[in-house]
């Protein structure tokens, strides 16, 4: 099974500042045949279902603000929120879909 590990578990960032979340997989999620990373990022707010932000490690979903950026390849990935807004307070999860599914443990983002 692929284990996903996020860091940090939580972070507090001032409004307008950058937030960075890291995600590491226990084995590669890069499929060599198509050169795609099977890595997604979700935003989860209380009382709502999770929302897919980014797929294939760096492809922003339609309607997702461009302040959200995904990067990385192989086993190391990053979600960056370039200028934190109040509505971005949530728990963020990385997920591999290379082999079945696994989520990271989540990173709680708050306002400092």
Partner 1 sequence: EVQLLESGGGLVQPGGSLRLSCAASGFSFSDYAMSWVRQAPGKGLEWVSLIGASGNDTYYADSVKGRFTISRDSSKNTLYLQMNSLRVEDTAVYYCAKGRPEDYWGQGTLVTVSS
Distance in Å, CB of 28 to partner 1, minimum:
17
Q: Of 12, 15, 52, 110, which one interacts with partner 1 (CB under 8 A)?
A: 52
* Two structure tokens written together for 40: 């997604």
- Inter-residue contact 102 to 40 (CB < 8 Å): no
Dihedral over Cα of 46, 50, 62, 54: its sign: positive
Q: What are phi and psi of 73, to 5 degrees?
A: -160, 155
Binding mask 61-100 for partner 1 (x = CB under 8 A): x-----------------------------x-x-x-x--x
Among 11, 20, 22, 50, which residue sits at the site for partner 1 (rule: CB under 8 A)? Answer: 50
């Amino acid at each position: 099974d692929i284990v996903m590990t996020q860091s940090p578990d939580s972070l507090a960032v001032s409004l307008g500042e950058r937030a960075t979340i890291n995600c590491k997989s226990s084995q590669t999620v890069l499929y060599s045949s198509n050169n795609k990373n099977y890595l997604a990022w979700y935003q989860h707010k209380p009382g709502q279902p999770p929302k897919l932000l980014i797929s294939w490690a760096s492809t922003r979903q339609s309607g997702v603000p461009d302040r959200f950026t995904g990067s990385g390849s192989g086993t190391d990935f990053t979600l960056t929120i370039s200028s934190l807004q109040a509505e971005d307070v949530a728990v963020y999860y990385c997920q591999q879909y290379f082999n079945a599914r696994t989520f990271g443990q989540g990173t709680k983002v708050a306002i400092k």
